[in-house]
Amino acid sequence: MQIRPLVAVASLLALAVVAGCTTTSKGDPLPIPSTEKTASDSAPPSSDNGDEELPFAGAPKVENPLDTSRYERDPCRSLTADQAESLNLPRVGTIDDKIPLSIGCVWLNEETRGKVRIVFIVDDPRGLSPEYDANNRGEYELFEELPDIEGYPAIVRGIDDRAKGNCVVIVGVADDMAFATELSLSTANVGQKDPCKTASDIAGMALQTMKGA
């Protein structure tokens, strides 16, 4: 898998606040959908604009590209051990290299079945542009622009599974790179918390780590 080095919501909430969004008490589950589509959903959609100058299709330009190359090589670095623990997840994630065009890291609580996945779209380096192009062609059930997360443009897209506590947030860290944050809320929080806001908060955590803050 070729990984290209790069030159990538509101302000990040305190860790305790974010943890409160994803957990209610120790052992509270974060269920994984029975039909799990989030991994393949992280792969960028097909597009006929491979030679078009980035960004295209209405995607915003990333004004201050973030070099995420070390996290592309090891996406489990994207959340610190303390950040993961604050979300009631294992302190160390597991590499997932079976995602089309991408590499990711999964934090899975074996007891609660809680899961967060952060995925870098490394083998189709076109940032958010394919996402906007696919939305223009009506390929997504759900597509929403979010307020910038830590200064970087972000969207929600994919199937609309929010009622089940699931959401995928994608952040453009450069015109040619994006990463996805996939989340399933705890059972107690389904219908009580907004999974897309929580996924945005976790993406903000990852960006804080990537920026070295």
Are the C-beta atoms of residues 34 and 164 closer than 8 Å to each other?
A: no
Give the structural domain span for 77: 15-210
- How do residues 1-26 score in pLDDT, each as one tens digit? 433 333 333 333 333 333 344 443 33
Let me know if residue 1 belongs to a domain: no
Let me know if residue 96 belongs to a domain: yes
- How do residues 132-149 score in pLDDT, each as one tens digit? 999 999 999 999 999 999
Let me know if residue 157 belongs to a domain: yes
Let me know if residue 172 belongs to a domain: yes
Let me know if residue 206 belongs to a domain: yes
Mean pLDDT of the chain: 81
Strand locations in the chain (E): 94-96, 103-109, 114-120, 142-149, 152-158, 166-174, 177-184
Let me know if residue 5 belongs to a domain: no
Let me know if residue 115 belongs to a domain: yes
Let me know if residue 19 belongs to a domain: yes
Structural domain total, the chain: 1
pTM of the model: 0.78
